[in-house]
Amino acid sequence: MTTATFYTNSPGPLSDGLTYREAQARGHFCAAPRHVPMGTVLAVTHAKTGRTVVCTVRDRGGFGAGVVDLAAHSFAALVGVGYQRVGRVPVRVRVVSVPKRGRR
């Protein structure tokens, strides 16, 4: 079990070069774990509700032990209405796919 938090919708680019707003506009859910390779696809499941979002690692974050940061729109999809008041939720994280070698 790990913890999901959310990070702000900064106008700057994510680590993969896409901006937060571009990712959101394209319907991409974004994750920012600390040690998972860029481009990895993760299924993040809320431990209490069973709701799952599938996110692509596009940035770095999750600097606390056992934490995966989700972009605000990804966290909102996972938690639902009032996500800003929640802040942290217990989740299970499963790797769906990993990028081919050579991609950062």
Q: Confirm whether 102 is domain-assigned.
A: no
Q: Is the pLDDT of residue 11 over 70?
A: no
Structural domains of the chain, count = 1
Between the alpha carbon of residue 92 and those of residues 4, 31, 34, 43, the distances in Å are: 9, 13, 16, 8
Q: Confirm whether 38 is domain-assigned.
A: yes
d(CA 70, CA 14): 12
Query: For position 47, which CATH number holds?
Result: 2.40.40.10
List pLDDT tens digits, range 44-91.
999 999 999 999 998 887 776 678 888 888 888 888 877 767 778 999
Range(s) of the domain holding residue 29: 2-97
Q: Confirm whether 103 is domain-assigned.
A: no
**pTM for the complete prediction?**
0.83
Please tell me the number of Cα atoms within 13 Å of 19 on its side-chain side.
Answer: 6
d(CA 10, CA 72): 10
Maximum separation of any 2 CA atoms in the chain, in Å: 40
